[in-house]
Amino acid sequence: MAGGPASWPQRAVSQLSSSASAPTPQFPIHKRRLRFLGLTVEDCIKSFFGGNALISVVVLGLITFFLVKEGAGFLGQNRQNLAIYRLAGLEFVDHLRRQSEDHTALTRYLSDLRLRTLNQWTGPGGLTLEAANARLAEFDDYAARFGDAADPLRGMVSDLSEVATAIKTKFLVNEDKKEERRQLLAEGKVAEAGAVVITAVDFPAELRPLRDSLPAYREANREFSTRLGALLAAAPRLPEPELQRRMDRFAELGRTYVATFPGIERDLAVWDHARPVSAAEAFTAFIFGRQWLTASFWQDWYGVVPLLTGSFLVALVALSLAVPLGVGAAVYVNQIASQREQRFIKPGIEFISAFPSVVLGFFGIAVLGQALRAMSQLPWLSWVPGFPYSERLNILTAGCLLALIAVPTIFTLAEDALNNVPRALKEASLALGASRLQTTIRIIVPASLSGIISAVLLGLGRVVGETMVVLLCAGNRIAIPDFTQGLGFIVEPVHTMTGIIAQEMGEVVRGSIHYRALFMVGLVLFILSLTINYAAQHIVRRYRISIG
């Protein structure tokens, strides 16, 4: 049977051998075409990611267009707002009002000085409260006489405010009637539209009481200046050197205040209600304005400076805490920690990002803010700037929580940057006799500096864009902190750009000046973010060139 036909196992083996030896055409996966479409897998991958990138660009463009479109109308509305402020004479009265408010600020300075003196005299081993108050009787009499010196000015401000408010109300009523007539005409109700009576406001005649008050103001101003000069010269002396330095500072501030009186008189003399408000003036009133005041019976102001200052200060405190912690933790975990420590530390830090920001905000209100305020009351911490303080929701509280939010971002990206350093650099440094610490500080960290800078800037973006924490924990006081007290400003409440948008956007009327002002704040925030990112790329590019 040797020459007979092969059995079926032999034929199977023969077929397998022949098929294995025959060349089978093979194509790379990215060259294989999809049935019915004629596309390669590579084409599909390119289309998928390219489409996502295109959608991102389109969405970014739409957001930019929407911000510009909604915010652009603010300038015209703010220009009209300022024009009414000038036409009705409110600007005239505000020159006097600022003079009165500056005097009130000096009076508050005296009240604060009295409180400091009382606390120092009634401290441990000091006077009783009754004895300290009796000793301060002369100081109290001086403070009362200083406060009463501005009574004629306050009376004049009150009387002229009523005149200006009446003029503004009359003008606004006429504008409402014009709008009512326009709507009636649009509906075809001609007879009803004709019944709407509009009386033009004669501004020169209405403003005459304000202009006629200028001679009386000059006379009252001279008497006011004389009284203040006598009071400042007779300021009481305080026995403690520190308290006396504050009293001397008060006298200096008082003399500076009196020196502003001639300038106010000149501003009132040249004031012109008919002077037009330029577009540049409306823009600078927003960019450099120091007040954000809405729903005011007197005048609404939309100035971004206090909001921008609050955002910057909170971010500064947050980064001053988050950068050392985040970068330091990344260096330790990447270069020093054992595998066991890494398995414990890395998940712990990255888990922080899982906490909802609103939960952190509640923690700041209920726990952290109260704990920091209680800690500030400790006598052995009185040397810390701003300690003790009473506001538990402030820059410090919000900054600590934002630092906690920014640490995971900075830590993760900084560690990735350290991992990307070529291993050969570390081995060469160790081979040359450098210690592990020297290698880390002088070789590894400088080589990864561009990535660390990117991590810090992304952390900054995370902090600046945060809303709930600052809305709950920053205090929401729309005011520029008092920088004259040094680092003590970090315990003052502030408001931020993101916080004001979240707080007020749901309450404003669509298309109103307040509505468009919030979009202008969003536009400023958007431009600020672009500027930070451009600066970051420029710094990283220069650093790479320098080390190349």
pTM for the full predicted model: 0.82
Closest CA to 287 of 541, 524, 31, 46: 524
Query: Which amino acid, 459?
Result: G
Q: What is the pLDDT of residues 27-40, one digit of tens each?
A: 454 445 555 456 67
Given a cut of 70, is residue 15 above it in pLDDT? Answer: no
Q: What is the pLDDT of residues 452-468, one digit of tens each?
A: 888 898 889 889 888 99
3 state DSSP class of 40: strand
Phi, psi values for residue 392, rounded to 5°? -80, -20
Query: Taken in order 376, 377, 383, 387, is the CA torsion positive or negative?
Result: positive
- Residue 21's pLDDT is 47
Closest CA to 265 of 84, 92, 106: 92
Predicted confidence band of residue 197 (pLDDT cuts 50, 70, 90): confident
d(CA 497, CA 430): 49
Average per-residue pLDDT in the chain?
87
- Residue 9's pLDDT is 47
Given a cut of 90, is residue 96 above it in pLDDT? Answer: yes
Given a cut of 60, is residue 446 above it in pLDDT? Answer: yes
3 state DSSP class of 235: coil
Long-range contacts of the stretch 319-324 (C-beta < 8 A, 24+) = 319/403, 319/406, 319/456, 319/459, 319/460, 319/463, 320/399, 320/403, 321/399, 321/400, 321/403, 322/402, 322/403, 322/404, 322/406, 322/407, 322/410, 322/459, 322/463, 323/410, 323/456, 323/459
Q: What is the pLDDT of residues 331-356, one digit of tens each?
A: 999 988 888 898 999 999 988 888 88
Q: What is the pLDDT of residues 378-429, one digit of tens each?
A: 888 888 888 888 889 999 999 999 999 999 999 998 998 898 888 888 889 8
